[in-house]
Amino acid sequence: MADPVLGDYAPGPHWCEMSRGGANQPVRDRLAALSLEELKRRAADVDAELRDLGITFTVYSERDAVDRVLPFDCIPRVLSAEDWARIEAGVCQRVAALNHLLHDIYHDGKILADGVIPAELVLGNPNYRPVMRGVDLPHRTYVNVCGTDIVRGSDGGFMVLEDNARTPSGVSYVVENRHMMLRAFPDMLDGVRLRPVGDYGARLLGALREVAPRVPDPQVVLLSPGPYNSAYFEHVFLAREMGVPLVEGRDLVVEDDRVWMRTTGGLARVEAIYRRIDDDFLDPEAFRPDSALGVPGLMRAYRAGNVALANAVGTGVADDKAVYAYMPRVIRYYLDQDPILPNVETNICREPEALRYTLDRLDELVVKPVGEAGGYGITIGPRASGAELEECRARLLADPANYISQPCVSLSVAPTLVGGRIEPCHVDLRPFAVTGEKTWVLPGGLTRVALRKGSLVVNSSQGGGSKDTWVLG
């Protein structure tokens, strides 16, 4: 029987899991039972439901379209059990190394003394927090939630693009995407052995309780900047999934170096805070005095060991794009292991040789500022105009320490419904790891997809969307 949905689909030179048969064949068979018109009809139903449910994110750069529905592509990305085993092991290894690194740089600094990472790169980093020196954390867990961005090259190999160790977002879409697929495509899931994603909230709550002060029933809260934050939908979602109060800074107070929550019945003790507020705004006594989002005195309570903060203050050093380049060395230094998931080859432009290499090959490389997120400030050399390349050259020469460069990786693709056709569109993957005493990785993660054929931009803030990620077995 001809495959009406994927019959004309051609991924070209790019790696595509759906085109490789094997473990994916049952999913292809179910897609083959659908016509393209039926797929489009169901996709329209999903879009309408997303709007009705208010599953949105905020784009601050667009005055007229602040709240947007995250585009969702209804053709799932499917990973084999073997692929997932490698990803899971690699993410766990990476999280372990990150936690070792953070404990070390805020205590003995052995890795700096041994010259594995330049000391000035860490100690001069804007995300380094001297207030964390000597603070001992339960299980030495600094990164309770980590979102590791992974890409797949043309040879099928997985590579880490970056670590997100501060307040990584997107996990709510992982769970909601699965709910969408269960409602819209029950026939596609029928008989497919698929690993669940619905227990993320329980796993996160358990990890937060493991790092909380030792009391019989520690109170956990989620601290949000409020409804104007771009990820507020996710804050509401996670608080509901964990069954914990969603609070803002004004709802908490510190007395006697302990954190309390204002309730209708009076003050109630808080032992663990999943905070979705950046370091700078967390405590006006310790950081920015003009912050109205944080809780005065919170760092005093934290340093005294009377409350847990997830993720720990000062984790931004570890996910800095310049520090990222040293992660293979970090893994070998602390774990005495080779990286299971390699880095994308990275040139650190603060180093003169790397700067010269980058300037000589601007039209071949991707240049990224180390302090930006969301895909902003990136110059993709092969697709940049002459004027854009010259502008990039000027920025590099003015502030080389703010940039890294990488080769233009041939990202894998997945079949995607674009403009009424099935096109090969580039994807990446953000698995979410949760760490308390041990690390657990949510099976699948957030697959982000570029919604234009040939585009490499998968960030939602710049027009990307998402897919449900299926892990088989």
Length of the chain: 473
Q: Which residues pair with 434 in a beta bridge?
A: 145, 440
Residue extents of the structural domains in the chain:
213-306, 347-407
The two tokens of residue 106 are: 């805020």
Reading the chain (473 residues) residue by residue, the pLDDT tens digits are: 445 688 888 999 999 999 887 778 888 888 888 889 999 999 999 988 888 877 766 554 555 545 667 789 999 999 999 999 999 999 999 999 999 999 999 999 999 999 999 999 999 999 999 999 999 999 999 999 999 999 999 999 999 999 999 999 999 999 999 999 999 999 888 888 999 999 999 999 999 999 999 999 999 999 999 998 888 999 999 999 999 999 999 999 999 999 999 999 999 999 999 999 999 999 999 999 999 999 999 999 999 999 999 999 999 999 888 899 899 999 999 999 999 999 999 998 988 999 999 999 999 999 999 866 656 788 999 989 999 999 999 999 999 988 999 998 889 999 999 988 999 999 999 999 999 999 999 999 999 999 888 887 787 666 689 999 999 98
CA 309 to chain CA centroid, nearest Å: 18
**CB neighbour list of residue 373: distance below 8 Å, 6 or more residues apart:** none
CA 102 to chain CA centroid, nearest Å: 18
Q: What CATH code is assigned to 213-306? A: 3.40.50.11290
Pairing of strands 246-247, 220-223: parallel
Determine how many CB atoms are found less than 10 A away from the CB of residue 229.
Answer: 18
Q: Which helix (H) or strand (E) holds 97?
A: helix 81-105
Q: Tell whether domain 347-407 is in CATH 3.30.1490.270.
A: yes
Beta strands in 284-348 (DSSP E): 308-310, 347-348
Reduce the DSSP state of residue 173 to 3 states and report it: helix
452 CB burial (10 A radius; 0-12, 13-18, 19+): middle
CB 187 within 8 A of CB 164: no
Rounded to whole angstroms, the Cα distance separating 142 from 314 reads: 9
**CB neighbour list of residue 171: distance below 8 Å, 6 or more residues apart:** 145, 147, 200, 234, 238, 432, 442, 446
DSSP code, position 70 = P
pTM comes to 0.92
**CB neighbour list of residue 151: distance below 8 Å, 6 or more residues apart:** 158, 159, 161, 344, 409, 411, 412, 428, 429
Reduce the DSSP state of residue 149 to 3 states and report it: strand
Dihedral angle computed from the Cα positions of residues 430, 434, 438 and 443, in that order, rounded to the nearest 10 degrees: -50
Amino acid at position 397, single letter: L
Rounded to whole angstroms, the Cα distance separating 278 from 150 reads: 24
DSSP code, position 71 = P
Torsion-angle region of 397 (φ positive above 0: left; ψ -120 to 50: alpha; else: beta): alpha
